């Protein structure tokens, strides 16, 4: 019972710490232990978590995967291009 009470108290503190006003909640980062195992589905390379945009960044391909409610959306169609021009390699191929 003690553990449950502490958990509820922690949830309450997190809710209060969400910033001022009724605006949208602060972006929820993914679990740090999860980040170690995540790789880009296209290049199979590690991803970098960008706190400012709450995205997982693949520097090599110049794409960013959004994180929704702490869950990375690793679908290539959901990725956003971060580079102005596409990489020289033929990344257009299916």
Domain-located, residue 54:
yes
User: pLDDT-based confidence at 1, cuts 50/70/90?
Assistant: low
Q: What is the pLDDT of residue 86?
A: 52
In angstroms, the Cα distances linking 85 to 9, 44, 57, 58 are 48, 22, 16, 15
Domain-located, residue 48:
yes
Domain-located, residue 3:
no
Domain-located, residue 60:
yes
Share the mean pLDDT of the chain.
76
- CATH code assigned at 76: 2.20.25.10
**What's the mean pLDDT in 72-81?**
95
Strand partners, 71: 68
pTM of the model: 0.60
Phi, psi (deg, nearest 5) at residue 55: -135, 160
| Residues 62/43, Cβ–Cβ less than 8 Å | no
Residue 76's domain spans which residues?
42-81
Domains identified in the chain, total number? 1
Domain-located, residue 72:
yes
Q: Is the pLDDT of residue 93 over 60?
A: no
Domain-located, residue 87:
no
Q: What is the pLDDT of residue 91?
A: 52
Domain-located, residue 31:
no
């Amino acid at each position: 019972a003690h553990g449950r009470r502490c958990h509820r108290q922690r949830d309450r503190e997190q809710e209060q710490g969400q910033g001022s006003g009724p605006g949208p909640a602060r972006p929820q980062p993914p679990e740090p232990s999860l980040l170690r195992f995540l790789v880009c589905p296209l290049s199979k390379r590690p991803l970098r978590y960008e706190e400012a945009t709450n995205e997982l960044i693949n520097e090599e391909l110049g794409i960013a995967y959004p994180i929704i409610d702490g869950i990375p959306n690793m679908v290539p169609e959901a990725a956003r291009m971060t580079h102005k021009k596409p990489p020289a390699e033929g990344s257009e191929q299916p």
